[in-house]
Amino acid sequence: MATKDATVNGVDEPKAKKPAALKRQAPSAEPNFLVKVTTGWTEFRGFLTDVRGEMRKVVTPTRKEVEATTTVVIVAVFLFGLFFFVTDSVFAYGLDKLLKQLGGIQH
């Protein structure tokens, strides 16, 4: 239901409230800030402790493991390269033949 001022002015909406920035802050605003800062610092220290714990679990691979995985990657790259070369050649040949049949390429 509209307020008396809104009804008199022909508007069906209540008056706008003052923005939060213009309201007077409570005298306890500073201690709340200090609590937030100390809580944030405590959480950050906990995060760093967790990071240190996770980093202790990291294992560096041996030289033999690195050589084996590198070999697998190099072989896979060459096989995929060969596969895509053959596939591209087949499609290029087929497209060339199709265009020649349709009269798109004069050879």
- State pLDDT tens for residues 54-87: 999 999 999 999 999 999 999 999 999 999 999 9
* Higher-pLDDT residue of 105, 96: 96
pLDDT at 107: 58
Distance in angstroms (rounded) separating the CA atoms of residues 67 and 46: 38
DSSP state of 21: G
pLDDT value of position 78: 98
pLDDT of residue 6: 54
Q: What is the pLDDT of residue 45?
A: 94
Burial per residue of 17-52, b for 16 or more beta-carbon CB atoms within 10 angstroms, e otherwise: eeeeeeeeeeeeeeeeeeeeeeeeeeeeeeeeeeee
